[in-house]
Structure 1
Amino acid sequence: MSSDDRPDSPAPTAFGPAIAHHAWRLSGRIVAGVGQLLLWVLTGIGRVLRPLGARIGAKLNGGPPPAPGVTATAPLPRWIHIWVEVADSWYFAPLTGLALTVAALAELAPRVASPLSVPGAFAVAATLPLVWRREYLRPVAAVALAAFAASLLTGQVLLITTTVAALYTLYALGRRLPRQSTGVLAAGSAATVAVVYLSTGTLDDVPWPAAVVAVLAAIGLGDARRVVESAGRTEAAAQERTSETLTQLMAVQREQAVMRERARIARELHDVVAHSVSMIAVQAETAPYTMDELSPQARAGYTEIARTAREALVEMRRLLSVLRADAQPEPESAPQPRLDRLSELIDQHRGAGGQVDLAVHGDPRALSTTVELSAYRIVQEALTNARRHAPGAEVKVDLMYLPDRLEVRVRDDGAAAPTMVLNRERPAARTAVLDDPAGSGHGLVGMRERATMLGGRFSAGPATEGGFVVEAELPLDREGNPAREAPR
């Protein structure tokens, strides 16, 4: 049996398509290589001329770039801005296409008796379709390139305008088509140039290497431009994803900061409430021993009250362990402060080099432990922020005792107060708070949470008369009369 009759012999037609496929891919790589080589050359020339370009650019640009929102007055930025607007407009393609057509007819006029001739028809067919190149690039390119090739094959006069239009069309196709299609375009264009040189003498005045390089360079530059634009879009998408990730991370950090502050407040309130419940338990346990004439039912009632109070303390400790945000609880070595210790806080601020004045308005009176603790912590955090962001500034603390609320106002006159941004994440909430973008701490978050917990109002930001001001309103009705509802 001959070798041709063996079943495992390769098909005789497989060799041809493989060669065509490799030639197709090779042509695309050649075009890309020519375009990349041109980019390297242009980049090298740009680096050599960079010092001179910097001087010329400084004169044309008029110095450093203007601030956002300010119109550029230097020649180059103004003209570039106008050019970008025109190039992006819908009428740019029609105007340039018509301009190429008029230029082609004007160039042809000295060589022919009338534009209504075969050369005139070829000139119009090679340029006028570019009017619609933005919407229908491939059909327009087919008509324009076919008309230009037909004019060369029929021996018509070679026009500079139609040549520029053809090269620009090849550039536009290379910029729009994928890499494989660009290789097919380059191979077809080179083959067309070879046919023109072999069949006619239209391009005898142009060296064939120059013609081939011009065709491949136009397509290669378009392909290189497509790669640059694709890389720019990829980088922009990556930056957008990074920005979204950072935004989500910042949101998580803010949420964690709020949870930590709430856990801290919960620990403080635990100490306050635990002290009160312990007093209830102690008094209930000692009542049977201090009162002689108690019935058995009364003694049993006091015992039940003491037992319930002890169980409440245990449950409160369990609740605190659930709310705790950190791994280890923060032990308190001293009882929770109240407003009677505000003078000690003022002395500490003065001892650290700060200047502070305390003014009390209204009739001072004993308030609930929660309200006084919240007011103390708000003043403490405000003084800490003043020392951190406006060291040496004069601070004024105002406490205003009103019938239904306690108002706290802390203002410093330092110019170094940080610029805060209004947090509008919860526009329906009663508490308006300003967050610190520098991330130096979460004091404002804690102050907001303390005011919100009491149903009050809180604001912080630059004062109109200069410096920074923190204001809080802590209502008393919610503590003194829980059943009373706020007016709507």
Structure 2
Amino acid sequence: MTATGAATAEGSFELGWWTRRRSVALDGALALASAAECAVHGIGFAERTGLPVWLVVISGAMAGLVLIVRRRWPLAVILVSVAVLPANMGGMLALVGLYTLATTEAPRRIIAALACMEGGGVVIVSYLLLDQDPALREQALPAWFQPLVSVLFGVAAVLPPVLLGMYVRARRRLVETLRDRAQGLEAELSLLADRAEERAEWAREEERRRIAREMHDVVAHRVSLMVVHAAALQAVAAKDPDKAARNATLIGDMGRQALTELRTMLGVLRAGEPAVRPDASARLAEIAGSAKTRQQEAEEQGPSLTELAALVDQSRAAGMTVDLAVEGEPRGYAEQVESTAYRVVQEALTNVHKHAAGAAARVRLAYREGEVAVLVQNEAPRGGGGASLPSGGNGLVGMRERVAALGGGFVSGPTDAGGFRVSAVIPDRAAADGAAADGTAADRAARDRAARDRAVPGGTVPEQRSAHG
């Protein structure tokens, strides 16, 4: 049987108050030894008193067998040892009983009282035996000899077992304390591991959302423009070959731009991947620590506000009437701030292509101290403006997540004239600071209202979503 199997078998044992087999064997052996000791001393007591030897021997043996219950009733063992002490029996009863009582959680005053009772009895019995010894009477001993020897016998019979029992009790307490502390640390480590898994799962979900936003931004805008140009190409192919050729060239350029942006994004995602796959625990820590870094790297390699004019020109080339107005002087905002503002305008123009074909749009960009504001508003779609392109419904959600990640405010909704308006105010600080400053839902709502008031002066935007997305 292995050590584990033996421990399991030992732990399942139970007999009365014993939980281990070796405890039964030990107590049985001590009880037999105590019975033999009491029986031997009982013979001498019977010879001195004239009592029947068999009666004293049987009585002494039965008294010695009381030691079998020392773990359950140590107090009874000590009282029996005190009772048989006048017959000069029960020395082992007293030693083992006092030790056992000292190892329990019994109050110290009770242990001290029983120890004094046992020690006093040993002193008295020792003094009487010394006084009745003929050999000692023939010697000229000083008067203090018998009392001193009796006291030494009493101390020797009581002090060692009590001190040893108290030491064992203190050691057991220390072991239990260390065991409890180890269990507490194990539980804490388990909790920390669970939290690490939760953080890793959150990091994975955050990275999935970020990838989805990037894919949406890169693909949706370019492909939407390509579809619009393809429709125009089909319409003018027979009538105006030159314009059809220009539209075909634009479609090719947009396709190449979309592929370039996709390659750039995938390159960022693959950057930093180890050549050898790490173990699971290291991978959890790596995911939790690298998700935000990858997001920042991807955003820092993204577009900037200097490319906004080219973005508007692409929409104009697709036949949309777009008015671009810039307020203030260009400032050196953080890369992720300019990238987020660019993506908001890009997604808003994509929504106009999808859901308001032929409608004119206005783009407003405001450079301010410590923040940048963007506004994209389109007129009511012509001819009902039915959606001509499929939509996943994630555009507005992605814009709001991007702006909120930087601690900004985002508002979108239909206008009174039947169009749609998207506005955002983004503070000029790092994404990490923005996440810490994101705050509660009430704080985000306040920032959204502030964004609406600052980016769209003089108007009110209902905070609801339309089919744009």
Which range, TM-score by smaller chain?
0.3 to 0.5
Question: Larger relative contact order (C-alpha < 8 A, sep ≥ 6)?
Answer: 1
TM-score after normalising by structure 2: 0.41
| Structure of greater Rg | 2
**Larger helix percent:** 2
